[in-house]
Every structure is written in C-alpha cells, then in structure tokens.
Chains A and B, each alone.
Chain A
Amino acid sequence: MKRIIANIFFAAALVMIQLSFVNGLPFFLSSLNVVLTAAIFVLVLAGLETALWWPAAAGVLLDAFSFSPFGLHTASLAITIILASLLLDNFFTNRSLYSFLALSAASLLVYELAVNFFGFLAHYFGADRFPLVYNRLFWEVKLWQSLSNLIFVAVVFYIFNFVSDKLKPVFLARK
C-alpha cells in the first residue's frame, strides 16, 4: 500500500513538473516527456502491477489539466504501459542501455500513436473542434522530440546506474 501511495504522489509531482516546468523550457527541452520516461523506469524496476498505477494517477491529473477530451491521456498511458510490459517480457529482456533505449523509443511511438488516434476519434465524433495538423512542422517536432527523449533516457539510465546496482548486468564468475 505504501508503495502505491508513493507512486501516486511521485506521478502527481512529475505531472506538475511536466506541465508547468518542462513545457515552459526552450524548444528541445520542452519536448521531454518525463512522465512517460518515469513510468517506463517504474515498469522495468517494479513491474507492471506498480506501473499500472501511473495511468491512474498521472493520466487522470494530465486529463484534469488538459483541454483535450477527458480520458485521452489516461487511456494512452495505460495502453503504452501494457504494450511496453509485453515488449519487456518478450523482447527486451536484458536491462542494458540499448534495450532501455529501444523500449523507450517503442513506448514513445505507441504513446504518440494512441494520443493521436484518440484525438482523431474525438475530432471525428465532434468532441474536439480543432483538427490535427499533420504538416511538415508536426513531423519535424516529433523527430526532435524522439531525439531529446532518447538522450534524456540515456542520461537518466547512467545516473541511475551510478547511484544504484539495480540496472547493472550480473555476471556469474567461475572460481
């Protein structure tokens, strides 16, 4: 129970940092998604059952503060975490930097697809008045976003490795 409450508070704090601090930074830094990155780290370190609390806390708070249709961020985060969990169990089984980067890239892609899919549905059914604009600028922004997030993941990975042994590879030495 303590772990769940701690996760909910951590998620809520990160949402506030994402919305009010990160989004206001200059372009390259403002495209970081600290909430998703943290959720992926929680998934790798603590497992799906803990990570699933993130959509419930972070998603709901993101939805409360955003003006997109309610549930869009919650649903997108939940789908991303479930799919990332499947990838983690079946493909990226070792905890190396490369598998972390691949998992983060895949999660980012899934999250973006989910957000845009639900956004498109909302627009189609009239819940959102403004159409999504898929012009050159959109794709350029997404490209920079992916790059900045992958750099961020690598930095966090190394910092985490420096302070903890949880992500360090284990070798069995013959004596």
Chain B
Amino acid sequence: MKKLKGRKNSYIIIGLLSVLAISHFFKLSYGAENFLIGQLRPISSRLYASSAFLRGLYDRQMEKRDLGGLLKEMEKMNGQLLAENAKLKSLEEENRTLRDYLNFYQKNKAAALLGNVISRDGFNSLSEAKQSFVIDKGSRDGVEPGLAVLNSEGLVIGKVVSVKDYISEVYLSTSPNCKFAVAVQNGSRTSGVAEGDLGLTIRMKYIPQTESLRPGDVIVTSGLEKNIPRGLVIGRISQVNKESNELWQDAIIEPSANPARLLIVSVFLGG
C-alpha cells in the first residue's frame, strides 16, 4: 500500500515538472517566475551583502600577509600618480577652455542605473570560465545585453550578457567570454579587442606589429561597440607580447577594478 502511494506521489511530481516545463516553453509561467524573482530579490541582496562582508574579512586577512611589499609599491605608484594627476588637471583645464571656445561642451546626459549584486557564479554555473554575477535589475529597468557595467569609480568591471525581466547576468571583464572593443591611450590610439584570460587578467588581441605599446599604458573602450561609449577605463598594460613571426602582437592588461567585494554596480545605459 505504501509502495503504491509512493509511486502515485512520484507520478504527481513528474506530472508537475512536465506541466512546469511545458508552461515555461510556451511562456505561460513567465508571470509566476518573474513574481517569484521579484519577491526574492531583496532577500538575495541582503544575503549577498553578508556573504560579501565575510569575503571581505577573509581577503583583508590574506592581504595583510604581504602588506610590506605592497606598501612600497603603492608609495612608488602614488608618486607617479601625483605627477600624472597634476598633468591631467592642467590638460582638463585646457580641454574645458577649448570646448567652451568651440562651443562643443555639452553636459553629459549619459544615464546609469544602479543595481545590487545578488549572486555570483559558483557551484551552479556550468563553467567556471564564465565568471559572472547576477544583479537585481533586468529588462524592465532598461537593461539589455551588451551594456557596460562599472564600479563606483567609473571603471569597467564587465558586460551584461543576458537579461530576464528582473535580473541580469554580468560577465566580468576577466571572463574569456567577455569581449570589449578597446583602444590604448597612446599617441596613435591603437585599437584592438580585449578579452578575459583565464579569469585573472585581460588580453588585448589583434594589435598590428607596427604599433608601439608600453607597460603602463591605459586601456579604454574604443566606442566601436553599440551602447558603449569611448573612454571608459578597463585597465593598464602590464606586459607586451611581440613575436616577430606573428601577424599580431598582444598585450596583457591588469584590470583596474577589483570585482571581489562589489555590492552595488552601475549599468551604463548610454547617452
């Protein structure tokens, strides 16, 4: 009798799952799914915040180990950045004046949308190489695939690849599946394609052999992609690989933004 009841129960579950699958296929269950996601978003956001707090504690503990070396490096970099900042400020001033004179200046009306990170890829992602996270804004908020995602300092951390009504999946710039049309901020504005490399760095590819690149050069978006303006900072070149027998040279880019402790991101919706 118990066995018969168990079998009946199994049939009910299989039937239920079949109904769910069919209704999803014909988009009948979208309303219910969206309602569920919409209701659970605030819980996800809070849970993720506590998880990120623990991750932050762990990271800080790990960082303390080589703090001495890091401090020296930072002091050196600080000096360089101060000099660079002074130079940039004078350039900015000059630029502003020129824009005023030529009547080019327009107030930047680019719209950005803030979103909470509610999940990172982990056990349930199909491939670790994906390196993604999920934010609580979706197509109903105006998010669409291909938009750039920035951190609070305006540095690029990834790109929206998939959207649902209330949530979106963002691939980190270090993911092999995330590609950006980029340019080097040097005299010749060398352009190429940047894509994630092993989930750790970014590799800029398809750079002609004739171009001259140096470690430390800043890489920005080139503006050749739809919805991504030019000039968003991706990182700095840390290494240039130039082989005389290759058609192209490539460069390793150190990403400027650290996505590990992100809680809130902004999606660049365009101008």
Q: Do A and B assemble together?
A: yes
The answer to the question of B113 belonging to the interface, with a C-beta cut-off of 8 Å to chain A, is: no
Q: How far is the CB of B251 from chain A (nearest CB, A)?
A: 22
User: Within residues 46 to 61 of chain A, which ones have a CB less than 8 A from any CB in chain B?
Assistant: 47-49, 52-53, 55-56, 60-61
The answer to the question of B140 belonging to the interface, with a C-beta cut-off of 8 Å to chain A, is: no
User: Within residues 28 to 56 of chain A, which ones have a CB less than 8 A from any CB in chain B?
Assistant: 30-33, 47-49, 52-53, 55-56
The answer to the question of A96 belonging to the interface, with a C-beta cut-off of 8 Å to chain B, is: no
Q: A20 touching B51 by the CB < 8 A rule?
A: yes
Bound CA–CA A30/B121 (angstroms)? 9
The answer to the question of B111 belonging to the interface, with a C-beta cut-off of 8 Å to chain A, is: no
Binding stretch for chain B, among A86-94, A135-143, A157-165, A167-175? A135-143
Interface residues of A (CB under 8 A from B): 16-26, 30-33, 47-49, 52-53, 55-56, 60-62, 64-68, 70-74, 78, 115-116, 119, 128, 130, 132-133, 135, 137-138, 141, 145
Residue among A18, A21, A119 with max Cβ neighbours from chain B (10 Å): A21
User: Within residues 214 to 267 of chain B, which ones have a CB less than 8 A from any CB in chain A?
Assistant: none
Contact of B127 among A20, A61, A132 (CB under 8 A): A132
> A21-B48, A23-B120, A52-B10 in contact; A133/B129 too (CB < 8 A)?
yes
Q: Interface digits, B16-50 against A, CB 8 Å rule (1 contact, 0 not)? A: 11001100110000000100110010011101101
Bound CA–CA A52/B24 (angstroms)? 20
Q: A55 touching B123 by the CB < 8 A rule?
A: no
> A20-B47, A24-B48, A49-B10 in contact; A61/B36 too (CB < 8 A)?
yes
Cross-chain pair count, CB within 8 angstroms: 134
Q: Cβ of B44: which chain A residues have Cβ within 8 Å of it?
A: 16, 19-20, 65
Interface residues of B (CB under 8 A from A): 5-6, 9-10, 13, 16-17, 20-21, 24-25, 33, 36-37, 40, 43-45, 47-48, 50-52, 54-55, 58-59, 118-130, 132, 134, 161-162, 164, 167, 169, 176-177, 198-199
Bound CA–CA A71/B55 (angstroms)? 31
Q: B17 touching A49 by the CB < 8 A rule?
A: no
Q: Cβ of B51: which chain A residues have Cβ within 8 Å of it?
A: 20-25
Contact of B123 among A18, A74, A130 (CB under 8 A): A18
Contact of A23 among B21, B121, B164 (CB under 8 A): B121
Contact of B126 among A33, A64, A116 (CB under 8 A): A116
Bound CA–CA A70/B22 (angstroms)? 11
Q: Cβ of A49: which chain B residues have Cβ within 8 Å of it?
A: 5-6, 9-10
